[in-house]
């Protein structure tokens, strides 16, 4: 992570500069991502800023979500391009699929005040979006697919009155910083993929999918304090970003059906590595004039790589059980970032904004984020009514905590970078098949922090 | 570092894909892929290609099935013999077509699809007409098919006989004798199926019993043989083995009884000697008991008491 001085207006204010440096040093490094769940970008060991991002690592169809996301060994519909490209060879007719998602993500921020350091404020954000769109065209033992997958579609905005609770500097009076912070983000990562699959034998298929990943990153966080002259809140500090980037990533899958009732699959999915740029602004209106200090900050945003292994068992003609193990390399997120907090660093001063740099004194990483393995399980049962069928699905998956957390023994920092909690998601779904041409599915996915409703439609030609 | 790692992983994946791609093997088809290709060929009148695809489908899945699951949520009616009949009919191979239609009827599944069944009957009549069959010829054909069916039935070839009677009924749906024999064969087949299932159960249970017997588990073995004799009371091997097991169990019971008597006798003597303070003699009796039954609690208790008493006496000295 680098901080590049851009332009400076006026004179530095040491207190605010210190704050700016803290924020610039940690703004993005504390990013954490849950598999299909939340990610927090928290920054500053003196202020609480929570940035939440949801990654949609789950297979984006209602059918797959209804199955608890255990779909690697099944992958037998138009979402296979992303789920497991090798599964595309199963299709015998062209298919178009479209998927929509309503997502509610809840999160909590430390919004402490001078009187109550542990005050927390709960927020939630709702997003409705088209999460996946695909076309599959099978041709003999080959199959081709193009698709658009929404990997991240995250919008949030919240205001936390009072963030002074964790100020531990005697120079700073928490009461001065009311009404606190205002944060907003709009982050979108889309994968535009082209998949190719080949059926090598009756029992084995391989597939590869190349993706162009686009990032649109819009973010702001403003800090306010009450002006002693006008008694109105005035902006004292901002971090803003409006970045775009395009990268390539790849998805490789293998699927085998050794018998009519058993299938196994494996997938490796690389995550794109984006560059983003933040602009840090420090506003100082002391001395009768307003001075604004600015600096740009280049950061790396690496989407974790994912490995999945799965097995599916078809019992009789109308019952399928599926089990996946998914390894998510969350550590990718912070690998290229500064993982040290300023709390135990040595401050060095320079003539250029942001004037202060922090040098790690102990060589120990203060922020850690470990890779995690998730277990997904699901079952699908077909109720038959003559020629009509009603698929019912249920499943669950484990969602181990993967929050960037601190190893520094400091109560204030522990409040900002807690260890997080493990979650278990429950999923249910059902579908309709109309005239063997149209498939409509719905599913819900719920956990402590996430509620999702998915709707899918597949058209078969 | 990350780029190097990603490249390494990609190279592994590509090498793997290459390895599996350079040795292509035949037989990539699934039954439903072959069947759907056949239906597409039929829809555009490519009859020979349709026959090839249908034969491929039949080799992968011989049994017709209505609403058969293909992949994903999709299902389809799988009636390959009817479609083969249709293709051959259009190729002018009327006899082959007729054979496939009869086979489709014999398989039975098509009867649950009235529309297709009606079409099949229509094709059969058309075949009869195209083959220039007059009413007399039709009656002769019916009589021939009936005769063949009866002969096959006498020979015990019920499956083929069934197809013949079905053929007769196709030509004359009101043919009572064919309908009666069809019913008789179905009942006979059901009976034979039941017998086969019973025989399978008898063989399996008998084998389990023998396995238990060889392992020395006489009670389990006896239960198995009893089970076999319930299913087939005159099963000779089960009768012999049950007798053997019962004899062995009786013998063992007697031996056990004698052993218990001896133990009781030794315990009684030992206790008398103990009460007479003849510790060494008593100890011998209890040791004899423990040689017969090492876990005998009475003997163990007395032995312990004697040891304690001897120990106490020696301490007092």
Per-residue model confidence as pLDDT tens digits over A213-230 = 999 988 888 877 766 666
> A136, A201, A335: which to substitute to probe chain B, counting the most B Cβ within 10 Å?
A201
> Nearest-CA neighbor of A177 among A110, A227, A109?
A227
> B28, B78, B114: which to substitute to probe chain A, counting the most A Cβ within 10 Å?
B28
Q: What is the mean pLDDT of residues A43-47?
A: 34
Interface contact flag, B74 A436, Cβ < 8 Å: yes
Alpha helix (H) residue ranges in chain B: 2-21, 31-43, 47-60, 80-91, 94-107, 114-130, 135-155, 158-171, 176-214, 218-231, 236-275, 279-292, 297-316
- The whole-angstrom separation of Cα A188 and Cα A303 is 12
- The whole-angstrom separation of Cα B259 and Cα B244 is 22
The answer to whether A306 and A326 are in contact (CB under 8 A) is yes
Compare CB distances from B28 to A63, A91, A141 and report the shortest one's residue: A141
Q: Is A420 helix (H, G, I), strand (E, B) or coil?
A: coil
Q: In whole numbers, what is the pLDDT of chain A averaged over residues?
A: 76
Compare CB distances from B9 to A77, A141, A268 and report the shortest one's residue: A268
Q: Which two tokens stand for residue A37?
A: 């769940």
Per-residue model confidence as pLDDT tens digits over B192-212 = 889 899 999 999 999 999 999
What's the pTM?
0.64
The answer to whether A305 and A272 are in contact (CB under 8 A) is no
Interface contact flag, B10 A384, Cβ < 8 Å: no
Inter-axis angle of helices B47-60 and B31-43, nearest 10: 160
Residue B84 pLDDT exceeds 90? yes
Question: Can you give the pLDDT at residue A26?
Answer: 34
Q: What is the least distance, in Å, from the CA of A324 to any CA of chain B? A: 18
The interface predicted TM-score (ipTM) is 0.70
Distances (CA, A) of B226 to A40, B145, B201: 70, 48, 13
> A136, A196, A198, A202: which to substitute to probe chain B, counting the most B Cβ within 10 Å?
A202
Q: What is the mean pLDDT of residues A243-265?
A: 90
Q: Which two tokens stand for residue A218?
A: 């819009």
Residue A7 pLDDT exceeds 60? no
Backbone angles phi and psi of B137, in degrees to 5: -65, -35
Please list, residue by residue across A30-41, b when 16 or more beta carbons sit within 10 angstroms of its beta carbon and e when fewer do. Answer: bbbbbbbbbbbb
Interface A–B counts its CB contacts (< 8 A) at 81
Rounded to 5°, angle at Cα A453 from A98 and A82: 45
Residues of A whose CB is below 8 A from B71: 76, 90-92
Interface contact flag, A206 B21, Cβ < 8 Å: yes
Rounded to 5°, angle at Cα A405 from A402 and A408: 160
Question: Can you give the pLDDT at residue A46?
Answer: 32
Q: What is the least distance, in Å, from the CA of B3 to any CA of chain A? A: 9
> Nearest-CA neighbor of A360 among A346, A378, A374?
A346
Per-residue model confidence as pLDDT tens digits over B47-61 = 999 999 999 999 888
- The whole-angstrom separation of Cα A87 and Cα A45 is 47
The answer to whether A213 and A189 are in contact (CB under 8 A) is yes
The answer to whether A270 and A320 are in contact (CB under 8 A) is no
CATH number for the domain formed by residue range(s) A2-460? 2.40.160.60
Share of chain B above pLDDT 70, in %: 90
Inter-axis angle of helices B80-91 and B114-130, nearest 10: 30
Domain boundaries along the sequence of chain A: 2-460
Per-residue model confidence as pLDDT tens digits over B231-277 = 888 999 999 999 999 999 999 999 999 999 999 999 999 999 999 98
Question: Can you give the pLDDT at residue A121?
Answer: 66
């Amino acid at each position: 992570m680098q901080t590049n001085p851009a332009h400076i207006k006026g004179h530095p204010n040491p207190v605010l500069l210190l704050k700016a440096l803290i924020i610039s040093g940690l703004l993005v490094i504390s990013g954490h991502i849950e598999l299909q769940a939340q990610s927090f970008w928290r920054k500053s060991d003196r202020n609480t800023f929570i940035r939440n991002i949801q990654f949609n690592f789950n297979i984006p169809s209602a059918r797959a979500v209804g199955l608890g996301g255990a779909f690697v060994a099944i992958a037998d519909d138009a979402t296979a391009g992303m789920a497991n490209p090798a599964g595309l060879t199963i299709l015998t007719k062209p298919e178009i699929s479209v998927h929509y998602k309503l997502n509610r993500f809840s999160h909590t921020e430390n919004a402490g005040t001078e009187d109550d350091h542990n005050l927390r404020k709960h927020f939630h954000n709702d997003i409705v979006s088209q999460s996946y769109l695909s076309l599959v065209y099978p041709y003999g033992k080959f199959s081709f697919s193009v698709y658009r997958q929404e990997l991240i579609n995250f919008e949030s905005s919240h205001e936390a009155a009072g963030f002074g609770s964790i100020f531990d500097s005697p120079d700073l009076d928490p009461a001065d910083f009311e009404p606190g912070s205002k944060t907003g983000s709009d982050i979108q990562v889309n994968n535009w993929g082209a998949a190719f699959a080949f059926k090598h034998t009756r029992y084995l298929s391989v597939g590869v999918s190349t993706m162009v990943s686009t990032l649109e990153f819009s973010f702001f966080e403003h800090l306010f304090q009450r002006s002693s002259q006008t008694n109105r809140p005035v902006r004292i500090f901002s971090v803003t970003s409006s970045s775009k980037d395009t990268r390539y990533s790849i998805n490789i899958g293998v699927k085998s059906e050794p018998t009519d009732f058993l299938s196994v699959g494996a997938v490796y999915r690389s995550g794109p590595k984006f560059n983003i740029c933040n602009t840090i602004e420090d506003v100082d209106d002391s001395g009768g004039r307003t001075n604004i200090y600015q600096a740009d900050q280049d950061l790396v945003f690496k989407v974790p790589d994912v490995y999945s292994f799965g097995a599916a068992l078809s019992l009789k003609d109308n019952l399928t059980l599926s089990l996946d193990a998914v390894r998510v390399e969350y550590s990718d997120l912070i690998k290229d970032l500064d993982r040290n907090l300023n709390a135990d660093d040595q401050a060095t001063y320079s003539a250029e904004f942001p004037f202060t740099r922090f040098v790690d004194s102990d060589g120990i990483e203060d922020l850690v984020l470990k890779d995690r393995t998730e277990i997904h399980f699901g079952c699908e049962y077909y109720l038959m009514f003559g020629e009509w069928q009603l698929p019912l699905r249920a499943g669950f998956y484990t969602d181990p905590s993967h929050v960037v957390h601190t190893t520094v023994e400091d109560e204030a920092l522990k409040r900002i970078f807690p260890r997080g909690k493990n979650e278990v998601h429950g999923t249910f779904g059902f579908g309709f098949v109309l005239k063997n041409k149209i498939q409509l599915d719905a599913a819900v996915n719920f956990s402590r922090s996430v509620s999702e409703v998915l709707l899918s439609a597949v058209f078969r030609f | 570092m990350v780029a190097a790692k990603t490249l390494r992983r990609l190279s592994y994946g590509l090498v793997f894909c290459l390895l599996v791609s350079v040795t292509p093997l035949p037989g990539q088809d699934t039954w439903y892929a072959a069947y759907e290709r056949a239906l597409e060929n039929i829809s555009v009148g490519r009859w020979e290609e349709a026959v090839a695809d249908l034969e491929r489908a039949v080799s992968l899945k011989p049994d017709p099935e209505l609403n058969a699951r293909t992949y994903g949520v999709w299902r389809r009616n799988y009636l390959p013999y009817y479609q083969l009949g249709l293709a051959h009919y259009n190729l002018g191979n009327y006899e082959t077509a007729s054979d496939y239609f009869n086979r489709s009827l014999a398989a039975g599944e098509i009867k649950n699809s009235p529309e297709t069944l009606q079409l099949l009957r229509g094709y059969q009549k058309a075949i009869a007409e195209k083959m220039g069959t007059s009413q007399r010829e039709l009656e002769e054909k019916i009589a021939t098919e009936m005769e063949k069916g009866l002969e096959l039935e006498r020979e015990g070839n019920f499956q083929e006989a069934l197809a013949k009677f079905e053929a007769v009924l196709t030509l004359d749906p009101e043919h009572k004798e064919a309908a009666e024999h069809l019913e008789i064969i179905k009942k006979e087949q059901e009976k034979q199926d039941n017998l086969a299932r019973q025989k399978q159960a008898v063989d399996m249970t008998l084998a389990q019993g023998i396995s238990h017997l060889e392992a020395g588990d006489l009670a389990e073995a006896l239960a198995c043989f009893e089970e076999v004799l319930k299913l087939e009371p005159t099963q000779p091997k089960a009768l012999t083995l049950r007798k053997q097991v019962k004899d062995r169990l009786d013998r063992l019971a007697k031996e056990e009884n004698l052993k218990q008597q001896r133990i009781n006798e030794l315990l009684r003597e030992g206790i008398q000697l103990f009460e007479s303070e003849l510790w060494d003699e008593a100890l011998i009796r209890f040791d004899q008991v423990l040689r017969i039954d090492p876990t005998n609690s009475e003997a163990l208790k007395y032995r312990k008491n004697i040891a304690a008493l001897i120990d106490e006496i020696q301490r007092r000295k």
